Structure 1
């Protein structure tokens, strides 16, 4: 029917939903592809909640539909809700781990790694939301992909409340799930920090910087000692030598 009457595909119901919205919710990936071939712009149509079909698929956890929608319209990954959320944010908020992994794969495939540092209107990245929802699997996925340089996340970025993900964990440290996620984040931060030199190398470096100062101190002491010696000798010259030098000066 969609091939015979393509105009039907863009008709909206009272909630502002097109056929593509409904198919994305139902999880019919094959029909989504068919409608997408007819009119790819359907992937960017928003409903009354400012959501596109990909947002609906993320909320419902339909991984196959997510892959189908992104293959038709990769730019849908960057579309935001009225709260500044990407499909990645929505999948995390609804604890849709499979859908989130599908979105991660698609974001990598289409070179949209910047989405992992995107903040919603509350200033939360997907790592913030995964931490708040105690989704250890997603936190581990993000940190693992970041350490392998497949995506980019900023572990120490703050939300609008001025909190990093580690601070969120510390504020809820009485909860074992938060504590475990906190350990994961701490290890990731430690791995990102510049490596300290080994003890031998550190000692060698300190010795190298200390020797010039020691040399200057020794030289200064030698100079002071010599000057003091000359002063002492001058002060204790015999009076006869002093008078002879004085007379010699006058005769000249």
Structure 2
């Protein structure tokens, strides 16, 4: 682009533009050849130069539909930056369908206004072209989806009011490419005020599909059960339940028949495995600790009982008198002792800082002592057996004391 033309657009000098046109009537055509991805209207719109924008539209109206190198049209730029008067000028001067031209990521100007929370611009756009609220991005998102994803509550509230004015309330049930409606998104983002707005807005609440399922077969209630952590989410769940929200399965274990996804995509087996894995950020560490304590206590109980009352197939007379049973007895005692001592280490580690911690450690020591007495009474009394038992007892404690680098390879973090 000619440097003088660029400067005229940046500063909004209409007189400079006229002078350039007098010198070279084809200056705008030359500019398109030299710089096809950035025209003077883009520059003037970025700078908020209304008078220059008006003149440029008079001189060459088709510049309004041209994209710059980033995929933005002049109306998109004005919507992003909040230049209300420029938006109004372009809409009034050009055909209203200019509002629905798609650019980068398939977004139109109303999408950009929603992303940036430009309420006044949303009003201007929907006043001129109400159907633009139905435009979808390349990811299947409406302006409602984008306002929610970018935490623009005021813009979302304004869009909901416009849906009621235009009679397009059904848009709240439209799913994006993943099948997520605005209710799914509001629940995932724990936006209580959005859920209350949807349930409290006359026509919207009547048409809102509470139990619509996304492409993975989850309702909003299912997603809430995954992320629920504090009192705010508990209240959110109560609100949904009062309104009739349900999970994928009702208490009688029958699938809910919803209108949006009557035949949800099947969930492959690997997805269920990942769903039940511990995930940092979704699952609370306290719950994981409680579950580990239960598992460790169960292992300790089973292994202790096995030492007190060993299997008859290995210890027919509770003592390995038969030389043929010596090896199985040693293998059994090593494995059982290793399981018992590992569970004791887990309990000791997970209860660190608990009240009466010293008393609890004394109990653990007493259990380990009585276990040792029980297991030695039924196994061969020789140096090999004592070495085997001590190795099994001490191995978990030794692993806890390994250098940090080695321990990292042993204790891999949960995925």
TM-score (norm 1): 0.71
1:125 and 2:181 matched:
yes
In 2: Cα distance, 1:54 partner to 1:25 partner: 9
Shift of residue 150 of structure 1? 4.3
Which residue of 2 is the match for residue 144 of structure 1?
Answer: 200
Count of residue correspondences: 188
- 1:59-208 to structure 2, matched below 5 A, reads 59-145=115-201, 148-150=202-204, 152-189=207-244
Structure 2: stretches of 5+ with no match in the other structure: 1-52, 246-415
Structure 1: stretches of 5+ with no match in the other structure: 191-252
In 2: Cα distance, 1:171 partner to 1:8 partner: 49
Asked if the contact 1:18/1:42 (under 8 Å) is kept, the reply is no
TM-score (norm 2): 0.44
Shift of residue 105 of structure 1? 1.1
Instruction: For residue 61 of structure 1, give the secondary structure of its aligned residue in structure 2.
Output: coil
Q: Which has the higher contact order (CA 8 A, sep 6+)?
A: 1
1:37 and 2:121 matched:
no
1:4 and 2:58 matched:
yes
Shift of residue 48 of structure 1? 2.4
Shift of residue 11 of structure 1? 2.4
Asked if the contact 2:145/2:182 (under 8 Å) is kept, the reply is yes
Shift of residue 165 of structure 1? 1.1
In 2: Cα distance, 1:67 partner to 1:136 partner: 25
**Rg (Cα) greater in structure:** 1
Asked if the contact 1:44/1:53 (under 8 Å) is kept, the reply is yes
Instruction: For residue 49 of structure 1, give the secondary structure of its aligned residue in structure 2.
Output: helix
Asked if the contact 2:169/2:203 (under 8 Å) is kept, the reply is no
Shift of residue 71 of structure 1? 0.9
Which residue of 2 is the match for residue 232 of structure 1?
Answer: none
Deviation string 1:25-77 (CA, Å, 9 cap, x unpaired) is: 01122221111011222201111211000000000011111111111111111
In 2: Cα distance, 1:142 partner to 1:89 partner: 13
Shift of residue 175 of structure 1? 3.5
Q: Cα RMSD between the aligned structures?
A: 1.5
**Runs of 4 or more consecutive aligned structure 1 residues displaced over 6 Å after TM superposition:** none
Deviation string 1:145-184 (CA, Å, 9 cap, x unpaired) is: 1xx3345211111112221111211222224332221111
Deviation string 1:120-155 (CA, Å, 9 cap, x unpaired) is: 11111001101111111111000111xx33452111
Which residue of 1 is the match for residue 360 of structure 2?
Answer: none
